[in-house]
Structure 1
Amino acid sequence: MATHAAKKQTEVHAPYLPRDLELGAVLDNPSRDALRELARPGEWTTIWGNAAYVSRVRSRSAKFSKNFVDEPFTDEDRALVEAVREHVRNREFIQVDRTMGQGEGAYHCRAFVQKHAARVALFWHSALFPPPADYAAREPDFVTYYVEDWPERRVLIDAEHGVTYVLGIDYYGECKKAFLRMGMYHTKTRRGGLGLHAGSKILRVKNRSGALVERGAIFFGLSGTGKTSLTCHPHELHGEEGVEILQDDVVFMMPDGACRGTEEGFYIKTDGLRPEDQPTLYDAIQKPRALLENVWVGPDREVDFDNCAISKNGRAIVLRSDIDLCGERIDLEKVNLVFFITRNYTIVPPVARLTPVQGAAAFMLGESIKTSAADPSAAGEAVREVGTNPFIVGPKYEEGNRFLEILERNGDEIQCFLLNTGKVGGKEAGKKITLMMSQAIIREIARDTVEWTTDPDWGYEVPTQVPGMDIEAFDPRKLYAPEEYAQLCRTLKHERKAWLEQFSGL
Structure 2
Amino acid sequence: MNSISLSTELSELLNGNNVYTQLSVPRLVEKILARKEGILTSTGAVQAETGKYTGRSPKDKFIVEEPSVKDKIDWGSVNQPISVEVFDKLYHKVIQYLENQNELFVFKGFAGADKKSRLPIQVVNEYAWHNLFAHQLFIRPSEEELADHKAQFTILSAPNFKADPQVDGTKSETFIIVSFERRIILIGGTEYAGEMKKSIFSIMNYLLPEAGILPMHCSANVGPEGDVALFFGLSGTGKTTLSADPNRKLIGDDEHGWSANGVFNIEGGCYAKCIGLTREKEPQIYDAITFGSVLENVMVNPDTHEAMYDDNTLTENTRAAYPIQSIENIVEPSVAGHPQTIVFLTADAFGVLPPISKLTKEQAMYHFLSGYTSKLAGTERGVTSPEATFSTCFGAPFLPLPATVYAEMLGKKIDEYGVDVFLVNTGWTGGEYGVGSRMKLSYTRAMVQAALEGELHHAETVKDEIFGLNIPLHVPGVPDEVLLPNKTWASQDEYIIKAKELSEKFQLNFQKFKNVDKEIVELGGPKKL
Q: TM-score range by the shorter chain?
A: 0.7 to 0.9
1:128 and 2:138 aligned: yes
Which residue matches 1:322? 326
Partner SS for 1:150: coil
Separation of aligned partners in 2, 1:456 and 1:101: 40
Separation of aligned partners in 1, 2:5 and 2:367: 35
Separation of aligned partners in 2, 1:142 and 1:118: 20
Q: TM-score, normalised by structure 1?
A: 0.85
1:496 and 2:506 aligned: yes
Q: In structure 2, which of residues 5, 30, 42 is the aligned counterpart of residue 37 of structure 1? A: 30
Separation of aligned partners in 1, 2:298 and 2:472: 40
Partner SS for 2:339: coil
One-letter identity of the residue aligned with 1:259 = V
Separation of aligned partners in 1, 2:152 and 2:440: 42
Q: CA RMSD in A?
A: 2.6
Which residue matches 1:334? 338
Is the CA contact 1:17–1:164 (under 8 Å) kept in the aligned structure 2?
no
Separation of aligned partners in 1, 2:464 and 2:374: 27
Is the CA contact 1:255–1:409 (under 8 Å) kept in the aligned structure 2?
no
Is the CA contact 1:17–1:163 (under 8 Å) kept in the aligned structure 2?
no
Partner SS for 1:39: helix
Q: In structure 2, which of residues 160, 177, 199 is the aligned counterpart of residue 156 of structure 1? A: 177
Deviation of 1:400 after TM superposition, in Å, equals 1.5
Separation of aligned partners in 2, 1:495 and 1:17: 51
Cα distance change on mapping 1:167 and 1:199 into 2, 3 Å: same
Which residue matches 1:95? 106
CA offsets 1:407-462 (integer angstroms, 9 cap, x no match) = 2222x3x1111111221221112121243332222112222334441324132221
1:146 and 2:146 aligned: no
Structure 1, unpaired ranges of 5+: 1-13, 205-212, 235-241
Deviation of 1:340 after TM superposition, in Å, equals 1.1
Separation of aligned partners in 2, 1:503 and 1:441: 31
Deviation of 1:201 after TM superposition, in Å, equals 0.1
Equivalent residue runs for 1:97-246 within 5 Å: 97-102=108-113, 103-114=115-126, 117-131=127-141, 133=144, 135=146, 138-151=149-162, 152-189=173-210, 191-204=211-224, 213-234=225-246, 242-246=247-251
Which residue matches 2:523? none
Structure 2, unpaired ranges of 5+: 65-72, 163-172, 517-529
Which residue matches 1:312? 316
Is the CA contact 2:221–2:243 (under 8 Å) kept in the aligned structure 1?
yes
Deviation of 1:403 after TM superposition, in Å, equals 1.6
One-letter identity of the residue aligned with 2:354 = P
Q: In structure 2, which of residues 447, 451, 454 is the aligned counterpart of residue 448 of structure 1? A: 454
One-letter identity of the residue aligned with 1:64 = D
Deviation of 1:167 after TM superposition, in Å, equals 0.8
Partner SS for 2:150: coil
Which one is further off, 349-358 or 38-47?
38-47
Which residue matches 2:47? 52
Aligned length: 468
Separation of aligned partners in 1, 2:236 and 2:180: 26
Deviation of 1:49 after TM superposition, in Å, equals 2.5
Deviation of 1:48 after TM superposition, in Å, equals 1.9
Separation of aligned partners in 2, 1:122 and 1:224: 28
Identity %: 25
Q: In structure 2, which of residues 458, 463, 475 is the aligned counterpart of residue 466 of structure 1? A: 475
Deviation of 1:474 after TM superposition, in Å, equals 5.2
Partner SS for 2:398: coil
Q: TM-score, normalised by structure 2?
A: 0.82
Partner SS for 2:206: helix
Is the CA contact 2:464–2:470 (under 8 Å) kept in the aligned structure 1?
no
Is the CA contact 1:397–1:504 (under 8 Å) kept in the aligned structure 2?
no
Deviation of 1:78 after TM superposition, in Å, equals 4.9
Cα distance change on mapping 1:49 and 1:137 into 2, 3 Å: closer
